[in-house]
Chains A and B, each alone.
Chain A
Amino acid sequence: MVLSVQGLYKSFKGKPVLEDVSFELGKGEILAIIGRSGAGKTTILRCVNNLVKCDRGTIQVDGMYLCKDDGEKSNYARQADMLKIRKKLGLVFQNFNLFPHMSVLENIVEAPINVFGTPKKDAEQKAMQLLEMLELEDKVSSYPFELSGGQKQRVAIARACALNPMVMCLDEPTSALDPELREGIAVTIEKLAQEGMGVLLITHDMSFAKRVAQRIIFMDEGQIVEERSKDEFFDNIENQRVKNFIGDYA
């Protein structure tokens, strides 16, 4: 198990957004969290990646506690541990958030070199391997504004992979892509899982979840409604809310 989330709660200005969310992610597993817009999917990713602090709950990344619930509140890891935990996590944002003033290569090697002190040569070698795997070798010295949506996404994946994370999180990986590029990103996600990463992807795109995920969690209004392996999920949909959401795909 590379990621464990237990009893996660989060509210914004008194409005509950996550209520008692619990799930686990195994090594090399692809888990999709689906649900309509506003269900709280992105908030889960932001909690897991410590971009927002949860109110209650325990999050464990590859055996290390990002935060641990003591029965009253959630206590966060100390700064030194936080950096170790960050290294185990990769996040690909919905709109990628590449650094516009840096070339593709610089985007990828920036954190390894300037945050984690990797020698420049090693960082660049690793970056080139990633770019090769993602078929972006010819874009090494391009700038983000010169790339298509799909290329930006692959750079964002390469940047997140540069620190050899155990868990890769992707927020709505198909939302900025033309439909014909979906198969490509599905294959990329499978490659990451084959490398041993646990992949947590968030989407409201049912057909994409069906294509790539091994396990599916359906959430609505901040709560997990269904959790099943993919085949089971589509074979016996009992919950009315899931039925309504799935509609055509069932």
Chain B
Amino acid sequence: MIDYIIRLMPSMLSGLQTTLEIFAITLIVSIPLGILVAIGRQSKIKPLVAVLQVYIWVMRGTPLLLQIVFIFFGLPIIGITFDRYPAALIAFILNYAAYFGEIFRGGIESIDKGQYDAAKVLGFTPAKTFKRIILPQMIKIVLPSIANEVITLVKDTALVYVVGLGELLRAGKIASNRDASLTPLVMVGVLYLVLTALLTVVFQKLEEKYAYYQ
């Protein structure tokens, strides 16, 4: 049994690596993008707000699986072709930026208008106000919701198996089919549990870091 698990390790770890790559790249790109989406939603430029509303509606109103399939299998029909890896990443980033954007917007809107007034009378530009006053307070407010999304993202990475990328779930499924064994699938489950447990701890620490004020 132990031998079998050790033999499975290389393929599992390579699957895990792909999973982590998609997870990390999606986070690193979609969080700043989400902040921009949130700022854009507050803009006075009506067409921009309308475009962002439609974008958010589509991204949150359709399954992520459909979005991945659409970009990888659908777009080539009209001549736009992506490799599997970029196709999956584009879908994930666009989808998560929409969710993060809505979370950030909620966070920004929950900050007292008096904070903007105080910054303004002290001479802050709008950009400085956002960076020094609004953003730090927003992060504290949104952390719990962001933690939820991030944990969902770890599990959502399994969806990329539809485009044939060798991530964790696919590695497990191949081994399970080949060896007619349940063990690889249990291993996959355990690895996801370890990942989500780690993330839970990381976010707990972050929330503690922001607990210094109320």
Contact = CB atoms under 8 A, between A and B. Distances in A.
Contacts of B208: none
The SS class assigned to the B binding surface is helix
A68 interface: no
A49 B116 CA distance: 13
Interface stretch (B27-35, B41-49, B119-127, B167-175): B119-127
Nearest to B214: A145
A101 B121 contact: no
Contacts, number: 57
A177 to B, nearest CB: 18
Contacts of B136: 101
Interface stretch (A28-36, A107-115, A192-200): A107-115
Interface stretch (A7-15, A17-25, A83-91, A218-226): A83-91
A143 B212 contact: yes
B114 A115 contact: no
A154 interface: no
A49 B121 contact: yes
Given A95-B114, A99-B133, A101-B136, A86 B123 contact: yes
B128 A114 contact: yes
Interface in B69-89: none
A97 interface: yes
Contacts of B155: none
Contact of B121 (A89, A95, A98, A144): A89
B114 A97 contact: yes
A97 B118 contact: yes
Contacts of B213: 100-101, 143-145
Contacts of A95: 114
B112 interface: yes
A101 B119 CA distance: 13
Interface residues of B, number: 19
Contacts of A115: 122-124, 128
A159 B137 contact: no
A184 to B, nearest CB: 23
A242 to B, nearest CB: 31
A87 B124 CA distance: 11
A65 interface: no
* B112, B122, B132 interface centre (most CB from chain A within 10 Å): B122
Contacts of A114: 124, 128, 132
Interface in B182-212: 212
B117 A99 contact: no
B131 to A, nearest CB: 9
Contacts of B112: 97
A101 B117 contact: no
Interface string A111-125: 100111000000000
B117 A87 contact: no
A93 B137 CA distance: 20
Contacts of B122: 86, 110-111, 115, 159, 163
Interface string A66-102: 0000000000000000010011011101010111110
Interface centre among A50, A114, A143, A144 (most CB of B within 10 A): A114
A99 B114 contact: no
Nearest to B140: A101
B115 interface: yes
Nearest to B139: A101
Interface of A: 49-51, 83, 86-87, 89-91, 93, 95, 97-101, 110-111, 114-116, 143-145, 159-160, 163
6 contacts: A83-B123, A86-B121, A91-B121, A143-B213, A143-B214, A145-B213
List the 9 shortest-distance A-B pairs measured between CB atoms, nearest first: A111-B122, A97-B118, A97-B114, A145-B214, A115-B123, A143-B213, A86-B123, A91-B121, A101-B136
